[in-house]
Amino acid sequence: MEYNFLAVEKEWRERWAKDETFKAEQNSTKPKYYVLDMFPYPSGSGLHVGHPLGYIASDIYARFKRHQGFNVLHPMGYDAFGLPAEQYAIQTGQHPAITTEENIKRYREQLDLIGFSFDWSRQVNTSNPEFYRWTQWIFVQLFHSWYNKKEDRAERIQTLIDAFEQNGNLQVDAASDEAAPFTAEDWKSFSEHDRRSILLKYRIAYRAETVVNWCPALGTVLANDEVVNGVSERGGHPVEQKKMMQWSLRISAFAERLLEGLNRVDWSDSLKEIQRNWIGKSVGAEIEFPIKDDVNKKITVFTTRPDTIFGATFMVLAPEHEWVKEITTAEHADEVADYVAYTKGRSERERMAEAKKITGAFTGAYAKNPINEQEIPIWIADYVLAGYGTGAVMAVPSGDQRDWDFATHFDLPIVPVIEGQDVSEGADDRKDGILMNSDFLNGIKVTDAIAAMLKRVEQDGIGRRKVNYKLRDAVFSRQRYWGEPFPIYYRNDIPYTIDEDKLPLELPAVDQFKPTEDGDPPLGRAAKWNWDNAAGKLVENGEGHPIELSTMPGWAGSSWYFLRYMMAGDASRDEVFVSEEAVSYWKQVDLYMGGAEHATGHLLYFRFWTKFLHDLGFLPFDEPAKKLINQGMIQAEDGQKMSKRYGNVVNPDDVIAEHGADALRLHEMFLGPIEMHKPWNTKGIEGVSKFLRKLWRLYHTDGVFTVSDDAPNKNELKSIHKCIEKVSDDMERFSFNTSVSAFMVAVNELSDLKCNKRAILEPLSILISCHAPHIAEELWKKLGHDASISNAPWPKLNEEYLKDDSIVYPVSFNGKTRFQLEMPADSSKDAVEAAALQHEQAQKWLEGNAPKKVIVVPGRIVNIVL
């Protein structure tokens, strides 16, 4: 009988579910191993064959770790809040909870077919109140915390209040919005309203008027990583810049630690590099330039090259800079006002599209170079960003291309300050060389000149060393329905948190999912969306206090979900977001598998929340995932992206119906290295199907299961141990494509040897069981085992069996292989050399001459140099 994959796979799916084979132990003396996949957003179109690629790879590794005796946590869940379900709801009136539920059901069916070793008892669903109760709870902690720069950690807001009561805010070094200075006496005299307003500037979850990416079509704000090329990532709608009052999270306070932590995790270099660039650290100085006609007024610039200050021939302010109006002379007032109006009217898209267009206006004012008193004109231009540094730069056209372009366009002087600097065709930003035209820095190397200038700036009191980061605080509110409600109500416009024991604050019913007529978010439609704090419950609108109408963004739940999986279904699940016992046993994720597209979104926020929760003492680690692998994308066979739009989607269900789940798993791995993008290949699956049938035949004679208990011979042992060595090594390197070929080699060899011996076939089925678990379980059962193969110990390599009696040496002349020479394995170097030179073929190449040199690498090669 041929292998009936349909029956076998169904049988094992059911048995694994019934026996809870992959349930992680909660109290275990075994070492733990945590394998996590990025959980999917359950979309309406279901999974295509590209989606499970990473899940298959992580599943193989999870199974391998089980064979090695680890207590493996390998969970799965759903990132269920999100825009598509809401867009669908707006169009159809169908509640997103219902469509989400249906989509989850479909996802689960598809996932189950593939034979993953997930522990479903721990599944999470971010849109479930049982889960988002804790997302809201973490938000409450973020609200009641501040960032203490002196201690370099997040702390409870009470330590800040204590500090204010003792010394006011003068001695406090916090990551905060600008707050006017006050003393302890002042603080004590403030009203509650004033105190709360001040504290809001310090909270890690704070509210502030910020310039946000507003998407009118979606009716919401978007985070920077949700905007791609000036349009929304989802839907491709135009995005404009708008000033709005929004909730933000103070991730920028963690910038340095987010950067430093990258050195302690085993993530791909490219991913770390993306995050480093996104965080964008630059070390330099702030230097003050007094204004010529008002020396008390100083413009502060940020520069990473203070050594080039003698090349600063003009100064540029962002059009939004607070002093533009004040310093502009009457003569240039109209021109400057026109330019400011022009830049305001430009959308983000236009700005990006016209990035090369050089525009600007002269203010008529001059600044004094604080080092040499030279007067330089002050311009405004939108190539200087208001939101970065100080919103003003000293322009050094000889060393900065943007300044060079600007100077060339407006005919401003360009002064080289480094010997050999060529500024005829463009700026020359060399970081080596000797300074010139630079007064006391002349003749000094760039690196030393930077140090010397920093010292001078600090001595003269005209500036300070300064580190800037590109990383902006994360806008945390969305004007949408399908997200976590903020556990916040407003008393006199001041936000207050809802008591922790009253959470979750569940999403209210609304008649429609659109914004209100007044332009309020959909939650503005809820009839009962006010809070009575004394009673601790929702009340009719008009009573109590209004509740926040925005909801949290899609990445809220995914920033901490990995912790929730650690909680088994025990009682403490309702008491804490994650218990101390659970987190001290499971600790960090050991292997995280997911797409690189989350580099600047999820993966940054996930690290940020972990650091925050660590600071507050909830977690014994501050990096969530020790190792991370980015699986590549599977493209359609035509090389395009797999998408409904192109009609080139391959559904795993169809592949499984035709070839089985084991074949799908093997084929996806066999396509190539896990991190690489690669096209799907429908034909290629025949190869792995054939392999599975051949494997089956190894255990069967004329369709009847036949295995012998005879002792294996040398060749058989060598074959299986070669496979053990190769596959064990491949597992540790996540090289799952090469292990598939190792299985094929072993099965081909054992078929040739007509081997049906238990001592060989038992370890073989264990080796294959991570990749092709269904067939392996069935063979294991036929071999007489009652228990699942998934806990069978991994076969042990015995190197004795790999050794050969003889070695075939390739003999090359001048590096070109000419013939083979078989020698006993224990032959000495000299014996190999002598045999090679005496070989009849050697004579032909030597042509009677003596070789110049003979190189013998024992066990490897012989090279004869003529």
Residues 120-149 that bind RNA (CB under 7 A): none
| 314 is a contact residue toward RNA (CB under 7 A) | no
Of 233-241, 378-386, 572-580, 700-708: span binding RNA (CB under 7 A):
378-386
269 contributes a contact to RNA by CB under 7 A: yes
Q: Which of 112, 672, 833, 839 binds RNA (CB under 7 A)?
A: 672
Measured from the CB atom, the residue of 278 and 513 that comes closer to RNA is: 278
Q: How many residues bind RNA (CB under 7 A)?
A: 87
Sheet with 853-857, strands from edge to edge, namely 816-824, 806-813, 861-865, 853-857
- Residue 214 to residue 221: CA distance in whole angstroms: 4
Report the b/e string of 637-658 with b at 16+ CB within 10 A.
eeeeebeeeeebbbebbebbee
Closer residue to RNA, CB minimum distance, 690 or 714: 690
Q: What is the footprint of RNA within residues 555-584 (CB under 7 A)?
A: none
Nearest distance in Å: CB 357, RNA: 6
Q: Are 254 and 511 a contacting pair, CB within 8 Å?
A: no
Choosing from 465, 690, 803, 829, the residue that interacts with RNA (CB under 7 A) is 690
Q: Is there binding between residue 315 and RNA (CB under 7 A)? A: no
Could you tell me which stretch among 241-249, 494-502, 540-548, 672-680 binds RNA (CB under 7 A)?
672-680
Under the binding rule (CB under 7 A), the answer on residue 81 touching RNA is no
Min CB(219)–RNA separation in Å: 24
Which residue, 235 or 684, is less far from RNA as judged by CB?
A: 684
Interface pick for RNA out of 130, 240, 654, 752 (rule CB under 7 A): 752
Burial of 344 (0-12, 13-18, 19+ CB in 10 A): exposed
In the complex, what is the shortest distance from the CB of residue 616 to RNA, in angstroms, rounded to a whole number?
29
Residue with smaller CB distance to RNA, 15 or 677:
677
Among 722, 735, 783, 858, binds RNA (CB under 7 A): 735
Residue closest to 453 by CA, chosen among 528, 553, 372: 372
210-239 binders of RNA (CB under 7 A)? 224-225, 228
Q: Counting contacts by CB under 7 A, is residue 703 touching RNA?
A: no
Nearer to RNA, 389 or 652 (CB): 389
Q: In the range 18-57, which residues lie near RNA by CB under 7 A?
A: none
- Tell me if 105 contacts RNA by CB under 7 A: no
Minimum CB–partner distance for residue 245 and RNA (Å): 22
Q: Supply the DSSP string of 732-790, one letter for each residue.
A: HTT-HHHHHHHHHHHHHHHHHTT--BHHHHHHHHHHHHTTSHHHHHHHHHHTT--S-GG
Q: 462 and 287 in contact (C-beta within 8 Å)? A: yes
Between CA 53 and CA 56 the distance in angstroms is 5
Residue 786 binds to RNA (criterion: CB under 7 A)? no
Q: Which of 26, 197, 282, 408 binds RNA (CB under 7 A)?
A: 282
Among 93, 420, 684, 824, binds RNA (CB under 7 A): 684
Among 43, 304, 442, 533, binds RNA (CB under 7 A): 304
Residue 119 carries which DSSP code?
Answer: -
Q: Using CB under 7 A, which of 158, 701, 820, 828 touches RNA?
A: 820
**Residue 293 burial by CB count (10 A; 0-12/13-18/19+): exposed, middle or buried?**
exposed
Q: What residues from 755 to 774 belong to the interface with RNA (CB under 7 A)?
A: none
For 118-255, where are the E strands, in sequence order? Answer: 145-148, 153-156, 174-175, 205-215, 220-222, 227-228, 231-232, 240-249
Question: Phi and psi at residue 370, in whole multiples of 5°?
Answer: -70, -15
Paired strand residues for 248 = 206, 475
Kindly state whether residue 241 participates in binding RNA, applying the rule CB under 7 A: no
**Crossing angle of helices 192-200/157-167, nearest 10°?**
120
- Considering only 116-124, 266-274, 587-595, 777-785, which stretch makes contact with RNA by CB under 7 A? 266-274
Strand, coil or helix: what is 864? strand
Site for RNA in 166-185 (CB under 7 A): none
Indicate the residue among 582 and 642 with the shorter CB distance to RNA: 642
User: How many C-beta atoms surround the C-beta of residue 752 within 10 A?
Assistant: 10
Helices (H) then strands (E): counts for the chain: 28, 33
Between 345 and 569, CB nearer to RNA? 345
Q: Which helix (H) or strand (E) holds 285?
A: strand 281-291
Of residues 794-813, those binding RNA (CB under 7 A): 808, 810, 812
Which of the ranges 137-145, 194-202, 209-217, 856-864 carries the binding residues for RNA, by CB under 7 A?
856-864
Q: Are 719 and 750 in contact (CB under 8 A)?
A: yes
Q: From the list 206, 383, 531, 608, which residue makes contact with RNA (rule: CB under 7 A)?
A: 383
240 binds RNA (CB under 7 A): no
Q: What angle do CA 779, 782, 786 make, to 5 degrees?
A: 100
CB of 343 to RNA, least distance (A): 10
State the nearest-atom distance from the C-beta of 707 to RNA, in Å: 19
SS3 277: helix
Hunting for tokens 């050991």 — which residue is that? 590
Pick the binder of RNA from 294, 354, 499, 506 (CB under 7 A): 354
Interface segment toward RNA; rule CB under 7 A; list 212-220, 453-461, 649-657, 681-689: 681-689
Which residues 459-518 are close enough to bind RNA by CB under 7 A?
A: 468, 470
Asked if residue 724 binds RNA (CB under 7 A), the reply is no
* 857 makes contact with RNA (CB under 7 A): yes
Owner of token pair 């597992």: 731
Q: Which of 318, 566, 835, 842 binds RNA (CB under 7 A)?
A: 318
| E strands, 443-504, in order | 463-469, 474-475, 488-491, 494-497
Indicate the helix (H) or strand (E) that contains 838. Answer: helix 829-838
Which of these segments, 54-62, 89-97, 242-250, 676-684, binds RNA (CB under 7 A)? Answer: 676-684
In whole angstroms, how close is the CB of 735 to RNA at the nearest point?
A: 6
Q: Is 701 in the site for RNA (CB under 7 A)?
A: no
Per CB under 7 A, the list member of 11, 25, 320, 597 interacting with RNA is 597
Q: Residues in the chain, how many?
A: 866
Site string (389-428) toward RNA, x via CB under 7 A: x-x-x--x---x-x--------------------------
Contact between 731 and 674 under an 8 Å Cβ cutoff? The reply is: no
Taking CB under 7 A as the rule, does residue 737 contact RNA? yes
Q: In angstroms, give the least distance from the CB of 220 to RNA.
A: 20
Applying CB under 7 A, does 388 fall inside the site for RNA?
yes
Per CB under 7 A, the list member of 203, 250, 305, 774 interacting with RNA is: 305
Site for RNA (CB under 7 A): which residue of 166, 701, 713, 741? 741
| Least distance in angstroms from the C-beta of 855 to RNA | 4
* Distances 619 to 164, 306, 582, 583, 634 between C-alpha atoms, Å: 28, 42, 10, 7, 36
Q: Which long-range contacts (CB under 8 A, 24 or more apart) does 693-696 make?
A: 693/2, 693/3, 694/747, 694/748, 694/751, 695/743, 695/747, 695/768, 695/775, 695/779, 696/2, 696/3, 696/775, 696/779
Q: SS3 helix, strand, coil % of the chain, rounded to 5?
A: 40, 20, 40
Q: Which residues pair with 842 in a beta bridge?
A: none
3-class SS of residue 307: helix
Report which of 783, 700, 769, 806 is spatially closest to residue 4, judged by C-alpha positions.
700
The answer to whether the beta carbons of residues 595 and 38 sit under 8 Å apart is yes
